Structure 1
Amino acid sequence: MTSTNDEGGPRPVRVYLVDDHALFRTGVRAELAGADDRVEVIGEAGSVAEAVAGIGHFAPDVVLLDVHMPDGGGAEVLRRVRESHPDVVFLALSVSDAAEDVITVIRGGARGYVTKTISGHELAEAILRVAGGDPVFSPRLAGFVLDAFSRGTSAESVGDPELDLLTPRERDVLRLLARGYAYKEIASELFISVKTVETHVSSVLRKTQLSNRYELSRWATDRRLV
């Protein structure tokens, strides 16, 4: 993906940043600005709806895509824009290194997946590589993808019809719940409110048709989410 600027030289790769934490978006902008002048952040969004509208408006080269957001996350953004914007490249940037998250967004059309421990220079390099057509993964995550697609299966939990009913954030809450975390601890771990945790748990109970957290814990353990 190479084009020129008004002076005839190669223009920067135009990046659109999607993450529901404004402070994190500010940090990424600053890191990329100081890392490589071949990368330029042209816009940002904090929700799925904003992302869909912004991608349509800016037509970026690369979208840096958060996996977990309150209104559906990266998988929902991919679902809503991939068909209408086939030339846009998506690179997932997430705190999560769970196998099911990686496989879900790659199957949705993302070209790579890196975690938020990445440095600014490494992130700029990853952006340039996916813009050039290469897949990019944080080292530990590449194995998930290779295993999933070489065997025609994903991590144990992917492809489970019941588990597929849950959003990525609901899976995060369920995973911590099954590990014995209290609601307050889950809220702190995921940077959400206790009320939001309660809402997610209620939704999971409804979708799984289970009665309490102990049944949920067994259900999650059976699917190797813990």
Structure 2
Amino acid sequence: MDRVPETTAGTRIGVVVVDDHAIFRSGLKSDLGPGIAVLGEAATVEEAIAVIQECRPQVVLLDVHLPGGRGGGGAEVIHGCSRLGSDTRFLALSVSDSAEDVVAVIRAGARGYVTKTISGAEITDAVQRIASGDAVFSPRLAGFVLDAFGTAAVASVDSELDRLSAREVEVMRLIARGYSYKEVAKALFISVKTVETHVSAVLRKLQLSSRHELTRWAAERRLL
């Protein structure tokens, strides 16, 4: 895990680069335009969460498949940084162009997903757009999402999720993945009692009776 002083960013867009290959991180940093300042970098889930929380970048360039943690890769990093809210946005960057990987990381909270074949000019543009609040997808990947779910299915899932608060969605995903209440509390920096309250609210709003049903509900909608 490497970090540079945040003051070097100036008025530039501050980013953190997360990838388990040092050569790729080095190449990516050299390709970024002068309007972008790299505040830090990381190679594992744990390192990424730590450096992102310390540097608080505007954008995180995040590999989808990372070692460490509970095996959740880039999605786990996003969940681990949830307390930063919308101040930090995530752009997934991967060699994978599978619909499953795309949807999983977008559901976790990433604002975009591009493949590693992207050029330096394109990644610079993508970072700028993500920082301004846009969503960015490689055209092929956006098509995969629609092909995999269909616009009606996406709308249906979004409608169900709209019943939940942002925090309830975070808790729901972790519980559905098998996290204990204590582990959820630690990941989200809240008390176990608060986790219990959120789980009860989620089950009530989704009309489910147990965490087993919640896991099945999330799995059927590919929200894990």
Query: Which residues of structure 1 form unaligned runs of 5+?
Result: 1-5, 155-163, 166-226
SS of the residue corresponding to residue 64 of structure 1 reads: strand
Q: How many residues align?
A: 146
Deviation sequence 1:156-183 (CA, Å, 0-9, x none): xxxxxxxx97xxxxxxxxxxxxxxxxxx
Give the letter aligned to residue 123 of structure 1. I
Shift, 1:145, TM fit: 3.0
Q: Are 2:51 and 1:54 aligned?
A: yes
Q: Is contact 1:103-1:144 (8 Å) kept?
A: no
SS of the residue corresponding to residue 27 of structure 1 reads: helix
Q: Is contact 2:93-2:116 (8 Å) kept?
A: yes
Deviation sequence 1:104-163 (CA, Å, 0-9, x none): 000000000000000011000000001011100011001133453722259xxxxxxxxx
Aligned to 2:105: 105
Q: Is contact 2:49-2:81 (8 Å) kept?
A: yes
Q: TM-score, normalised by structure 1?
A: 0.60
Superposed CA RMSD in Å reads 2.3
Q: Is contact 2:19-2:42 (8 Å) kept?
A: yes
Greater helix share, structure number: 2
- Counterpart selection for 1:39 from 36, 40, 44: 36
SS of the residue corresponding to residue 53 of structure 1 reads: helix
Q: Is contact 2:56-2:84 (8 Å) kept?
A: no
Aligned to 2:215: none
Q: TM-score, normalised by structure 2?
A: 0.61
Aligned to 1:93: 93
SS of the residue corresponding to residue 96 of structure 1 reads: coil
Give the letter aligned to residue 152 of structure 1. A
Shift, 1:83, TM fit: 3.3
Alignment of 1:203-222 (within 5 A): none
Query: Which residues of structure 2 form unaligned runs of 5+?
Result: 1-6, 156-175, 178-224
Q: Which has the larger radius of gyration?
A: 1
Deviation sequence 1:166-221 (CA, Å, 0-9, x none): xxxxxxxxxxxxxxxxxxxxxxxxxxxxxxxxxxxxxxxxxxxxxxxxxxxxxxxx
